[in-house]
């Protein structure tokens, strides 16, 4: 039987993903660049029609925010979160992270989980993004995953180390292309969350998962305030 302490430990900054990502904090920061909206309408139109263009055009935007040391840190953080909301499909990520358990939830529980998951991801994102230090990015290729789905493959170049492979998985909807998953060195964020979340639900139930996520989110927010 998994204990409450075990459940909390499973919900590390990236839902168990952190252990594998400890050496690639920069990669998480680069992944976050995908979710930044371009400010001009012309650029937005181009990005929405082309997943590769979205990846390339948003890198400069997020780096600009990170390098703007004249703006107070909390303002920059809120700017990044506002931008994130436009490019990540957190509702789809939340559903995928629960797997078969999603359909077992009541409508009220589903409506509870999506904003909780979103807030949890935002807190983890902010804890990683500011460590990015300008590593070069190689945009390798764009490929189709079927009608309305695409994948953009990139490498994060590290000095004297193997590059970090990041695959961005996007889905096209009414609002254009949005990210619904990111795989770092072939490890999917949503699949990894699903393994962790399912273990908690199977052993302690959905309510235990919610409590653990709320506790971890508070911990992450607290570290940002320190």
Low-confidence ranges of the chain (pLDDT < 70): 1-49, 57-60, 83-84, 130, 226
Q: What is the pLDDT of residue 34?
A: 41
- Tens digits of per-residue pLDDT, 140-196? 999 998 899 999 999 989 888 999 998 989 999 888 888 899 999 999 999 999 999
Token duo for residue 195: 């393994």
Residue 90 has φ and ψ, to the nearest 5°, of -65, -30
DSSP code per residue over 29-79: HHHHHTTPPPSSHHHHHHHHH-HHHHHHHHHHHHHHHHH-TTS-HHHHHHH
- Tens digits of per-residue pLDDT, 73-82? 888 888 777 7
Domains, the chain, ranges and CATH? 4-225 (3.10.450.710)
Q: What is the pLDDT of residue 4?
A: 44
Residue 17 DSSP symbol: T
Residue 197's alpha-carbon distances to 22, 109, 202, in angstroms, are 20, 15, 9
129-146 burial: b if 16+ Cβ within 10 Å, else e: beebeebebeeeebeeee
Q: What is the pLDDT of residue 206?
A: 97
Q: What is the pTM of this model?
A: 0.76
Residue 166 has φ and ψ, to the nearest 5°, of -125, 125
């Amino acid at each position: 039987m998994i204990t409450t302490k075990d459940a909390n430990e499973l919900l590390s900054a990236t839902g168990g993903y952190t252990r594998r990502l400890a050496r690639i904090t920069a990669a998480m920061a680069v992944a976050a660049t995908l979710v930044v909206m371009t400010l001009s309408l012309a650029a937005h139109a181009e990005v929405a029609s082309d997943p590769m263009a979205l990846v390339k055009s948003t890198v400069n935007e997020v780096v600009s925010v990170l390098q703007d040391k004249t703006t107070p840190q909390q303002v920059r953080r809120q700017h990044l979160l506002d931008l994130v909301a436009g490019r990540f499909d957190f509702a789809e990520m939340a559903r995928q992270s629960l797997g078969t358990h999603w359909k077992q939830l009541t409508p009220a529980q589903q409506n509870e989980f999506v904003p909780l998951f979103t807030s949890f991801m935002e807190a983890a994102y902010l804890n990683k993004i500011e460590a990015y230090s300008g590593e070069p990015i190689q945009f390798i290729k764009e490929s189709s995953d079927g009608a309305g789905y695409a994948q953009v493959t990139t490498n994060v170049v590290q000095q004297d180390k193997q590059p970090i492979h990041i695959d961005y998985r996007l889905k096209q909807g009414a609002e254009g292309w949005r990210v619904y998953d990111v795989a770092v060195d072939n490890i999917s964020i949503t699949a990894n969350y699903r393994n962790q979340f399912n273990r908690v639900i199977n052993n302690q139930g959905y309510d235990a998962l919610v409590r653990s996520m709320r506790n971890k989110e508070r911990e992450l927010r607290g570290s940002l305030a320190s």
